[in-house]
Amino acid sequence: MQKAEDTAEAILAAAEWRARRAGYRGFSFRDLAGDVGVKSASVHYHFPNKGDLAARLVQRYRRRTLEALGSPQDCSARQAVERLAALFVEANETHDLMCLCCLLGAESDALPRNVVAEVSGYFAELCGWLESVFGPDHEGLSAQTVVAALEGALVIARTRRDPEVLRRCAREIAAGF
Amino acid sequence: MQKAEDTAEAILAAAEWRARRAGYRGFSFRDLAGDVGVKSASVHYHFPNKGDLAARLVQRYRRRTLEALGSPQDCSARQAVERLAALFVEANETHDLMCLCCLLGAESDALPRNVVAEVSGYFAELCGWLESVFGPDHEGLSAQTVVAALEGALVIARTRRDPEVLRRCAREIAAGF
DNA sequence: GTCTATAATTTGATAGAC
DNA sequence: GTCTATCAAATTATAGAC
């Protein structure tokens, strides 16, 4: 008897948590149904197939990430890098979760095209946000390399269960600006 | 009628290719059996369960990676970074494959412990190799950050299907040494 | 070592009642 | 919108013949 939006949102939230731990194949319709308290047929009602669900998942993730980053105005290059890095540290230490797009990106060969397109857009968006701060005649590490380092450090930090790996990476990268 | 080693090796080769595209859940015993030309029960004969298979997979990957890196003697810091980066570029452009341990590391929450331990060891080994060149009073980016940047750049380059992402990252990181 | 056969479970997805 | 019921396929894994 719940509103459509509420159930759909709850499904996406459950899917995101599972996907950020185990990837695209790491959650099933039944898993999500159990998480939300409905049956798997109801999940299919909201998301006809898994590819659609995952694409919506990444859209939602992108929107939230950009909101969390906020406006890049009145922000030095170093502050921008630190703000971005803080999001990665938060994912790791507060939520104990991977970056959704890093995990899906690593699996991209095995994902539906529309999902890959959304993930690709995520990276473009992150880099675009940084570049809008860096400006046209920027020197030092590019936005792409900054994002790459943070994503990779998150993978290593989580695998080794050592948050300091990511923190050190963030520190070293920011120090260059 | 094949020698045990040959079949086991062929299974591992098939498993590596699939795992480097789709992750731990991205290959099945039947997939590998089909690739090698045997039945899935034969795969189980060589590797009793999937966790064992994956752990062996990473061991083999680590050994090969260290062999490819070779001795770090008579190598400047920049040359070491370039040699490591060349391996990542080769994976991307020659083989069109992810780094096995980056993909498994991203999924590490969903993997058997012994597999995670092997993946963790991979990162430690890569960093150790770099650090043996960098020396104790090293300045600039740490070995961990160098590895992180290359791993992350490989993810982004493959997702966006743009090899230049990785090449640029490698160039920028190496330029700092 | 490899096979056939099969168990037990899980998967994505659909039909149709309410 | 959610349910029951179900399907066809795939999954990991084992028993036992050859």
Q: How many domains does chain A have?
A: 1
Range of the domain at B163: 4-175
CB-nearest partner of A107 from B103, B116, B173 = B103
A1 touches strand D (CB under 7 A): yes
The reported pTM is 0.98
The CATH number that applies at residue B28 is 1.10.357.10
Using CA atoms, how far apart are residues A145 and A168, in angstroms rounded to an integer? 16
Using CA atoms, how far apart are residues B52 and B41, in angstroms rounded to an integer? 15
Using CA atoms, how far apart are residues B16 and B60, in angstroms rounded to an integer? 9
pLDDT per residue as tens, chain B (177 positions): 577 679 999 999 999 999 999 999 999 999 999 999 999 999 999 999 999 999 999 999 999 999 999 998 889 999 999 999 999 999 999 999 999 999 999 999 999 999 999 999 999 999 999 999 999 999 999 999 999 999 999 999 999 999 999 999 999 999 999
Using CA atoms, how far apart are residues A49 and A112, in angstroms rounded to an integer? 11
pLDDT at A164: 98
Using CA atoms, how far apart are residues B24 and B45, in angstroms rounded to an integer? 19
Q: How many CA atoms lie within 13 A of B66 on its CB side?
A: 14
Please report, rounded to whole angstroms, the spatial distance between the CA atom of protein residue A1 and the C1' atom of nucleotide D1.
7
- Interface residues on A facing B, Cβ-Cβ cutoff 8 A: 21-23, 25-26, 98, 101-103, 105-110, 116, 119-120, 123-124, 141-142, 144-145, 147-153, 155-156, 158-160, 165, 168-169, 172-173, 176
**Which residues have CB under 8 Å from A60's CB, separation 6+?**
A12, A16
